[in-house]
Structure 1
Amino acid sequence: MKRSESNVFALFLACGLAMGLGGGGILVRPAAAQTPVTSSFVYQGELRSGPSVVSHADLNFRLYDSPIGGNQIGPELGVDDVTLIRGRFSVTLDFGNNVFAGDERYLEIDVRSPAGGPGAFSTLFPRRS
């Protein structure tokens, strides 16, 4: 009786090892398709003084590698006629694929209000990391 119990145990052990070492691959499902990652992101900000009472503004965005001075990374992005709701806004930005490679980046923003007006842009300070 002990011999048949040990034979059954050996059979289960062999099957378990076979499944674990390669035979178990038939139970693995392929991964579901992933949504491709894009370089665009949504930036939400708030203007706390000045043009925040106006309902629309023109905004320019630039990335830098330093909070002060430094080098501009990627293109300047202009977004015209941005809606301000109690000074808050939301825009989609896309500086390209290679600007976020793990190094710290700082966002500089210029504002012109009212939107489309003849006035100059004002640069906000400090840059946002």
Structure 2
Amino acid sequence: MIAHKLCLTLDDAKKIAAAAEAEARRNDWPVVIAIVDDGGHLLLLLRLDNTQYGSIEVAIQKARSAIAFRRQTKVLEEQVTQGQVRYLGLPGAIPIEGGLPIVAENQFIGAIGVSGVRSHQDAQIAQAGIDVLEQHTP
């Protein structure tokens, strides 16, 4: 039997990025927003004006980490904070809040990573992006 696999499209990524950007602008937060597919490949990158260039790679890596480990990067951060340093050595793991997997119909179809402000604010922006996709998913 062949499985049915959902795919995150460029149009989906644009909707997610637009909602995340709106949240960032509403709060006057300069950030980078990165969206990757289920293989961790970059679909869309958005860098708001006056965002530090160091946040580009961090946002991408947050998104890749969220899809690679199928969990929010906040979970990895919490594990490190609790002294579980083994998470620091995992290839592709970035234990900094702000990376969230994108799930549709119980399938992991991609992830969003945001970087540029405090990590909990990055996560707030990322969640705003995911929320818009969930509103339009049957």
Using the size of structure 2 for normalisation, the TM-score is 0.26
**By percentage of residues, which structure has more strand?**
1
Tell me which structure has the larger Cα radius of gyration: 1
Using the size of structure 1 for normalisation, the TM-score is 0.27
**By percentage of residues, which structure has more helix?**
2
